[in-house]
Amino acid sequence: MLDQRYRWKSKILRNHVAVLNGEKSPTIILKDATYLNQTLRKWIVANIWILEDRIVYVGKDMPEMINQSEIVDCKNQLLVPGYIEPHAHPFQIYNPLTLAQYTSQFGTTTLVNDNLMLAMHLDKKKAFTLMDLMQEIPSTIYWWCRYDSQTELEDEEMVFSHSNVKNWIQHDAVLQGGELTAWPKLLAGDDMMLHWMQETKRMRKKIEGHFPGASEKTLAKMMLLGVDSDHEAMIGKEVLDRLLQGYMVSLRYSSIRPDLPRLLDEIHHLGIDQYDKFMLTTDGSPSYFYEQGHIDQLIRIALKKGVPVVDAYNMATINIAKYYHLEHLHGNIATGRVANINFLTSKENPTPISVLAKGVWVKRDGKEVEGIYPTIEWKDCGLNPMQINWDLSYNDMQFSMPFGIKLENSVITKPYSISMNVSGNKLSEEHDECFFMLLDRQGKWRINTLLKGFSNAIGGLASSYTGDGNIILLGKDQSDMMKAFNRLKGIGGGIVLIKDGRILIELSLPLKGLMADIPLMNLITKEKDLIKIIKELGFVYEDPIYTLAFFSATHLPYIRITQKGLYDVLNKNVLFPAIMR
């Protein structure tokens, strides 16, 4: 367990003390290091001794025994703690390992990860096996505990059973409950969810909200029920509302909500000049959004917007560690802390030239250190390729719904009345309506309708990357849709795009049909190509990757396509049920 991992055993603790007694060499000595001391809010020069994964001394002295030490001259560098991502969705086509490895190169050495995919698609034993394996990598990985599926599941009471949720809450690597997307159910009287929240608080863990557009009264009610933080403030006034109700506030900069620059401008205009209650997050953006960096980019924005230097770094380090009660391990450079350290060339450039993660060099002099992150046998964790042992036929291609789904932007969908004849196998490219299907990954049911606003030219697109793990099929040409599905079946899951019978692009997702197993830099290239082609074929909004993930997400308005059928989010009822095949 992670907590045990950092309750260093007695023998190891004696070794730490032995370094100060001059009986044992540190593994690394950072000599003449100018580091950010967040207690004094000053840059201080010191020698920093590290033994394996722990800082054992910060001060003026040099150790007596150095015969087995790597001594690093830090005179021309500035040292800050490793950055922390408090709100990661590690299954956005990438996987938790590739995300951690890639973001370490930009100084993010600790991530607090969403567990939704693990809870929904793996049994508890396999999920915990993966979490145990992730403890052995140089990055530090923590997790959430979801209370709901964020969609409508036929077997939700089994997936999110009391036993399962309680075991997740009690896991040492889990820091918080949430994010709380089903808060309307809570306010409507869901006592089981309230019990889980109370159990989370009993374990002295945090609860994160998800309250876009919430009123002052709603924020107050959720604070009374136990929520500690929220990341959904979109304007400065909403930041202030959360602060006044006692929340910790995550300031977001993501692919569909790049709000941070505006938020900083507006909170400064409101006279807010205290930053201790702020954290920075990228909110689990797709890989292409991280091409130029990760949390370091958010610190850079904060600096450019006039946030004091110490506060800009604190929002990505010590503020988060204190919030999660982890300041004894993370968020600062001090004796006893985990040796997560970023080496900078200047205060104004938060992208590190070198990075230590758990006392291991993962980046050195501007280059990634190869071979540091291990490989994972994904099959041991239950993350096998999709096995689709059923066929799709033209009998499944029946689209007789009276209304369809209209995209208002990348993630908001509304119902609209279907007025055209959809009895043929093709739709005209003179409009932006497509055939649209959600298929059970086991082939048991289907939902058919039309989708407006996604494309006017896609022949067929098949995707097993969805919010609920089922299969999306859409396009203008039913023949192309069938070919896209069959190709998806052949590669064991992924995203396939076909036009006029020809594959334009495919992205293999061999981990349960939801995640790639390639390095994130390679995924960035592939994902950018995929998005470019989708946009060339008529997608006009910011992010089609989020669109695919959120078609089934019932924490967003107004109409969603779920396992139960077409679902009216506001009225909480199924408009048209799924059809058994």
What confidence tens digit (pLDDT) does each residue in 174-199 have?
999 999 999 999 999 999 999 999 99
**pLDDT score of 5:** 55
SS3 content of the chain, % helix, strand, coil (to 5): 30, 30, 45
Per-residue pLDDT at 2 exceeds 80: no
What are the extents of the domains in the chain?
A: 10-76, 82-332, 394-580
CATH topology of domain 82-332: TIM Barrel (3.20.20)
pLDDT of residue 1: 41
Cα 32 to Cα 47, 53, 361, distances in angstroms: 5, 20, 19
pLDDT of 4 over the 70 cut: no
pLDDT digits (tens, 9 = 90+) for 322-334: 999 999 999 999 9
Q: Which residue has the tokens 């964020």?
A: 150
Q: Is residue 438 within 8 Å of residue 447, measured between CB atoms?
A: yes
Compute the distance between CA of residue 66 and CA of residue 46 in angstroms, rounded to an integer.
17
Kindly report the pTM of this predicted structure: 0.96
369-395: pLDDT as tens digits: 999 999 999 999 999 999 999 999 999
Q: 3.80.10.10, 3.40.50.9100, 2.40.10.220, 2.30.40.10: which CATH number matches 10-76?
A: 2.30.40.10
Report the pLDDT value the prediction gives residue 7, as an integer from 0 to 100. 77
Q: What is the pLDDT of residues 216-260, one digit of tens each?
A: 999 999 999 999 999 999 999 999 999 999 999 999 999 999 999
Distances (CA, A) of 162 to 146, 185, 227, 388, 468: 12, 16, 20, 31, 20
Would you tell me how many other CB atoms lie within 10 Å of the CB of residue 302?
Answer: 27
